[in-house]
Structure 1
């Protein structure tokens, strides 16, 4: 089985709804559990999304099941059991944070968390595929080669937080129930990946972010899958639903989950909405970035 494993700080209101005979549980926590193949059900119809001036978009309140059904092709065992969740509306960045945006605040990030790490183009280790984007001409590409602590510090500096796993999947699905947010089969036009050339990393690098077009889902979120994996605030656990992987504001998870797949990946199943990943820093972080959420 192929695996690319790659997981806010503010109180999050989520409701874990009954699934079959499951009791109702209301969570005011950071971490999230499982979900699945039921549709995301917004409490009110989501308006057509336009590119917002702020670079963020409001996602509608609603509920969904996190995770994947047993019969989904490419499914991993850690994508269940499915659990239904409900959310109040929240904001999410339209795109992954860009190299330009991170560079503008990198000194503040360092001051906020002296343990945070990132690598520039010139510092890219020779064993990593691709290049780190900081201090390169790729200012409009997603920032990559940033560790989890740097991502968290950046989001807090801009008044937000890293999304939990459940928030991320809710946003990625955008009311869909299919394996990929665009449908039941993989379509390379919706992702920046190495699928078309069938070799890990053959795409060469990240691509500039977009704010419209085939790489944007129905809620106006772009590059939710592909281009770079995205850090979440949730610590990895082998099953969804039992313990929600809560990360306290001062803690750093040993195994934070990241989601979405990246330009490095050539296996279509890694871009499914339910796929969960863990980063292995020894293999490099050129395929890892992040985006932020803001909650009312």
Structure 2
């Protein structure tokens, strides 16, 4: 724009110079021609305009007002959530029971071959409160339910201790009232050893310490039962609590062919020798026997085959 502006003004100055040169001498004409009177057929030369109108400098249209478009807000992206862990398949067992996968093993000290089908097992021993509810439903009886100083039935503060002072038939009736049954000796040992893992004790192979309710631990000689869920460190592979210590548990298996005695499993709070709590070690009880260290744990068939 500056070069163009200067060129315009220069052209105007040039025109001014030419006009001045042509206007000098007033109307005199060179040569021998007569001199004409002013005004007689002559036209007086008009001097060129002494000023040249400078062309106005070119103007450029003002820049259009620019409007700043609003910056669009960044699109909100959904926060990435960590994938939820897959939900475990529904249990084929009733609430409060654990699924025990079946199999086969060499059972007990004699290493007899035993084959076990899948079954469900109560996670804890039946409590005094559980048994009291069964009595209230008139499906159980409480005959001699306070047979020993260690009895738990209707004892304040012992509602969550294992029910004791039940004989074999009372144990059968209690499980039947729950739609369940007592386990066989083979099933009980299979569950206590962790199935194919073949554990020495329900919790593993290390000797008993504080994993159970017994008289060989730091608390010394006990005077009675413990709450059924008081020792989570003693859980079996399948999450069964109290499979060693606290109270023996009735099974349906006969001790021998000569008597009606039944096998009891798991040892009790009274015992303080580690070998008493080995998964393979049985106890023996007459069917009419009641005491403060023998209780109940029920089993049942699963509702469906599990992939566990």
1:95–1:156 distance in 2 versus 1, CA, 3 Å: same
Q: Does 1:179 align with 2:185?
A: no
TM-score by length of 2: 0.61
Distance 2:280 2:135 in 1: 32
Conserved in 1, the CA contact under 8 Å of 2:172 and 2:181? Answer: yes
Counterpart of 1:41 in structure 2 is: none
**What's the Cα RMSD here?**
3.1
Counterpart position of 1:88: 117
Q: 1:95 touches 1:211 (CA, 8 Å); kept in 2?
A: no
State the distance in 2 between where 1:227 and 1:212 align.
Answer: 10
- Residue 174 (structure 2) pairs with residue 168 (structure 1): no
1:270 aligns with 2:276: yes
Q: Deviations over 1:98-154 (max 9, x none)?
A: 110011012556x66x7x84422xxx44xxxx4100010200011111111100001
Aligned position for 1:260: 266
Shift of 1:212: 7.3
Question: Does structure 1 retain, via aligned residues, the 8 Å contact 2:211–2:231?
Answer: no
Structure 2 regions of 5+ residues with no counterpart? 1-87, 303-308
Distance 2:271 2:288 in 1: 16
Q: How does 1:6-45 map to 2 (within 5 A)?
A: none
Conserved? CA contact 2:215–2:271, under 8 Å: yes
Once structures 1 and 2 are overlaid, which stretch shifts more, 202-211 or 166-175? 202-211
**Conserved in 2, the CA contact under 8 Å of 1:49 and 1:57?**
no
What is the aligned partner in structure 1 of residue 105 from structure 2? 64
Contact 1:212 / 1:220 at 8 angstroms: preserved in 2?
A: no
Match of 1:222 in 2: 241
> TM-score when scaled to structure 1?
0.64
Q: Contact conserved, 1:49 with 1:219, CA < 8 A, in 2?
A: no
Residues 117 and 149 in structure 1, CA contact (< 8 A), matched pair in contact too: no
CA 1:171 to 1:118, structure 2 compared with 1: closer, same or farther past 3 Å? farther
CA gap of 1:275–1:150, structure 2 versus 1, over 3 A, is same
Match of 2:145 in 1: 119
Contact 1:198-1:266 at 8 Å conserved across structures: no
Label 1:204 to 1:180 Cα distance change in 2 as closer, same or farther (>3 A).
same
Change (3 A) 1:291 1:49: farther
How many residue pairs end up in the alignment? 212
Cα distance change on mapping 1:284 and 1:146 into 2, 3 Å: closer
Residue 155 of structure 2 is aligned to residue 136 of structure 1: yes
Cα contact 1:145–1:285 (8 A) shared by 2:
yes
Mind listing any 5+ residue stretches in structure 1 that lack a counterpart?
Answer: 1-46, 68-78, 238-242, 246-252
**Could you list the per-position Cα deviations for residues 172-229 of structure 1 after superposition, in whole angstroms to 9, with x for gaps in the alignment?**
1113324323344422222100112697xx2121111118720211111110111110
Query: CA 1:228/1:210 → structure 2, altered by over 3 Å: closer, same or farther?
Result: same
In 2 relative to 1, CA 49–274 (structure 1 residues): closer, same or farther, beyond 3 Å? farther
TM-fit CA distance, 1:59: 1.0
Pairwise CA distance, 1:62: 1.9
SS of the residue corresponding to residue 232 of structure 2 reads coil
Distance change in 2, residues 1:83/1:157 (3 Å):
same
Please state how far the C-alpha of 1:282 moved relative to its aligned partner. 10
Highest CA radius of gyration, 1 or 2? 2
Equivalent pair of 1:117/1:147 in contact (CA under 8 Å)? no
Counterpart CA distance in 1 for 2:224 and 2:137 is 27
